């Protein structure tokens, strides 16, 4: 399979990765979540070529994850703001951060501390079940084909027909 065919797969992970799974795209998004909005700041913080930055910003804008907004005239200057669709990727970053903090904290401790304004505490993200509210462990989950499984469920039957996860 070629990478470009991924988004056609009836799999939400494949579809999502087809949109933001590119590594530089993920780091551009990281900058957005850190409050970066201007092209020059993306480029300076990531230390990569303007071409890559421009390409990834265009890609994220095309997919409605970032919104390009003019904030100045003569000359026109743009900033890139996260849309609701973009903001909803945040749990992905929180869970990546949690894993990195756990397994690669560095000698001196975690690089960043996250503070929840609503409760005024430093926090970690916990992934819970929407139904019972308990943290979800991979071994407690079973996946089965949903209404949109289509041919994927048939062609990969061994994998998808009610399978214990993990």
Q: Which of residues 29-88 bind a copy of itself (CB under 8 A)?
A: 30-36, 41, 45-48, 82, 85, 87-88
Residue 141: Cβ within 10 Å count:
12
d(CA 56, CA 43): 11
Q: Which is nearer to a copy of itself, 15 or 59 (CB)?
A: 15
Q: Which is nearer to a copy of itself, 61 or 136 (CB)?
A: 136
Asked if 108 is part of the footprint of a copy of itself (rule: CB under 8 A), the reply reads: yes
Q: How far is CA 146 from CA 12, 40, 149, 160, in A?
A: 11, 44, 5, 10
d(CA 30, CA 136): 25
d(CA 152, CA 11): 8
d(CA 21, CA 18): 6
Q: Work out how close the CB of 72 gets to a copy of itself at its nearest, in angstroms, rounded to a whole number.
A: 18
Q: Which is nearer to a copy of itself, 47 or 75 (CB)?
A: 47
Number of residues interacting with a copy of itself: please give it, by CB under 8 A: 103
Q: Work out how close the CB of 74 gets to a copy of itself at its nearest, in angstroms, rounded to a whole number.
A: 25
Residue pair 42/81 in contact (Cβ under 8 Å)? The answer is no
Say which DSSP state 106 is in: -
Contact residue for a copy of itself among 59, 67, 79, 100 (CB under 8 A): 100
Sites for a copy of itself among residues 131-160 (CB under 8 A): 131-134, 136-150, 152, 156, 158-160
Q: Which is nearer to a copy of itself, 74 or 106 (CB)?
A: 106
């Amino acid at each position: 399979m070629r990478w470009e065919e991924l988004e056609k797969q009836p799999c939400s992970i494949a579809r999502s990765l087809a949109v933001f799974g590119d590594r530089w795209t993920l780091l551009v998004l990281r900058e957005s979540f850190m409050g970066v909005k201007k092209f020059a700041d993306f480029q300076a913080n990531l230390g990569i070529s303007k071409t890559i930055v421009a390409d990834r910003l265009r890609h994220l804008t095309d997919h409605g994850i970032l919104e390009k907004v003019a904030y100045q005239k003569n000359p026109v200057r743009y900033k890139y703001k996260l849309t609701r669709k973009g903001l909803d990727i945040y749990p992905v970053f929180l869970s990546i951060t949690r894993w990195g903090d756990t397994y690669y904290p560095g000698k001196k401790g975690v690089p960043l501390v996250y503070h929840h304004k609503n409760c005024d505490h430093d926090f970690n993200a916990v992934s819970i079940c929407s139904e019972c509210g308990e943290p979800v462990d991979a071994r407690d989950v079973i996946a089965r084909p949903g209404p949109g499984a289509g041919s994927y469920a048939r062609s990969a039957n061994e994998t998808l027909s009610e399978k214990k996860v993990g």
